[in-house]
Amino acid sequence: MPIFVHHFRTYGLLLLILLFSVAFAPIADCLAAGDIASEKENEEALAKLDQMSSQEIDILDQKLAEALIHYYDRKYASALPLFKEIAGEVETMDVLFWLGTCASRVGEYDLAQQKLEKLLSIDPQLHEARLELAGVYFQTGQKEKAQQALESVKAAAPSPEFENKVDAALQKVKRQGGNYDWNLRASVGYLYDDNINSGPEQKIYQVAGGTLRPASGRAKTDDSAALINVFGNLLYDLGDRKAWMWNTALSFYSKSYFDYSEFNYMDVDLYTGPWWVGKRDIFKLPFGYLYDEFGSDRLSQIFHIDPTYEHHFCRYFSLKGLYSYRHRKYFADQNANLEYKNHRYELRPTFYLGQRRHIISILGGFDDRNAEVDRLSYDAPFVGGSYFARLTPTTECYLRYTWSKKDYKEPPPDYTEIREDTVNDFVAVLSQYFFTDFFVSLSYAYYDNNSNADIYSYDKSTYAVKLGYRF
């Protein structure tokens, strides 16, 4: 093969690297100040390429093209082994960056730190690489190094858009505040509910001894409501990262109807407890107290404990076990027979796909409710599933469906047969983030309770829009 052809193919590999850098603006813009194709490094790469055969360069070309396609599709787990192979043959500064970034995104932090630090030792002005390295430091508990790296990037005065990314990352690092991390979300919204009192249709029902028509106040009624949601938590690291921690959370929920204020609802839930986080295991033991109001009156208080244990077999699959105990006591004497103790057991296998942009969970379990009166006590096996998708970096979608069958222990009033209810519960939420920390969400929920005691059959649909901010 003529020597000029060989050199054309040799330089073509580097040209392909440069073309991909230019063609994809997100990388090119962020690295423009860094001149990622360092002359010295690429001269060494060219020297290695000069010693390769045409066939070897062809194979390397194909690997690089495939790796870059995976990279820009955010399929980092697929791109990483290819970049490792390419780096073993020829390690340009571009390849160092792509390899370090892929390693960071799939959790190979030691490799990511090694490659990104090497890259920055050659050219300290590569802001995107330093931002990526700050993320690696943060994930591995090197908080001071993370903050120093971010402040170094900010001091270099990059573009306003890039500076916003740095500010958001700095805020997260500073918020962790040494041994603790916290977050707070608040939102307001509007809700339309087509069955505010979970009542049946206003028609005639056959019951023991005759017929029954629900009073207008107890039949299906619709209304709109104003919503307020606040949630915050504080996670304190008791020692080494990924070991013992203590988490405390507080949530507030308020629903105020425009026409039927007697159906207003409010609850406050405070819970706390230890976490143990290992390389593949997460154990949580929260216990708490929930207070709620209905209308303008105190309704009940709930004492609960909700331990969970999850084991990650690999980055694609985990299995989670959950147990929940709730003891609900009502304040008003006339509701004393509603008091109950509830045990819930659940097993949840989860699949993580597409760099965790798609999370699919299957759930199954059993509810055991013991009320003061047997006609309100039941056993309820349930099955279902959920799907979470990050459609874009700022758009998220969540779907959940649950089917359950409630077998009550005694017939309800006016019936002679044991009550059996079949429940279908569906929720869909679409969320969009903007200006970094603002978000808007649209949600739809459908609940269908089908009972052999017809007076207890009802369906309920709600539609909500919320605007919020995460601090």
Among 176, 201, 228, the domain-final residue is 176
What is the predicted pLDDT for the residue at 308? 98
CATH number for 415: 2.40.160.40
- Alpha carbon distances (Å) from 39 to 9, 211, 318: 19, 90, 46
Same domain, 380 and 243: yes
- Average pLDDT score over residue span 370-379: 93
Which structural domain range is residue 447 located in?
A: 180-470
Cα(61)–Cα(51) distance, rounded to whole angstroms? 15
347 and 262 share a domain? Answer: yes
Total domain count, the chain:
2
133 vs 19 pLDDT, higher one: 133
Least confident span in 186-195, 328-337, 384-393: 328-337
**Domain C-terminal end among 127, 150, 176:** 176
Same domain for 190 and 111: no
How far is the CA of 402 from the CAs of 237, 361, 370, 387, 428, in angstroms? Answer: 35, 12, 21, 12, 12
Tens digit of pLDDT for each residue in 15-30? 455 444 443 333 333 3
Q: Looking at the structure, tell me whether residues 300 and 171 fall in a common domain.
A: no
Confidence of residue 47 (pLDDT cuts 50, 70, 90): low
Q: Is 230 in the same domain as 272?
A: yes
203 and 142 share one domain: no
Give the pLDDT confidence of 260-300 residue by residue, as tens digits: 999 999 999 999 999 998 878 999 999 999 999 999 899 99
Q: In this structure, are 328 and 342 located in the same domain?
A: yes
Task: Identify whether residues 94 and 157 lie together within a single domain.
Answer: yes
Q: Is the pLDDT of residue 335 over 60?
A: yes
Helices (H) and strands (E) counted in the chain, each on its own, are 10, 18
443 and 404 share one domain: yes
pLDDT exceeds cutoff 80 at 355: no
> What is the CATH number for 80?
1.25.40.10
Range with top average pLDDT, 105-114, 206-215, 237-246: 105-114
Does 315 lie in the same domain as 265? yes
Q: What is the pLDDT of residue 354?
A: 83
pLDDT of residue 28: 32
DSSP letter (8 states) at residue 43: H
- Whether 465 shows a pLDDT value over 70: the answer reads yes
Give the residue from 176, 211, 233 where a domain finishes.
176
Same domain, 152 and 269: no
Total residues found in the chain within this entry = 471
Regarding whether 184 and 172 lie in a shared domain, the answer is no
Is pLDDT of 4 > 60? Answer: no
Which residue did the predictor score with more confidence, 350 or 6? 350
Nearest to 85 by CA among 70, 74, 105, 107: 70
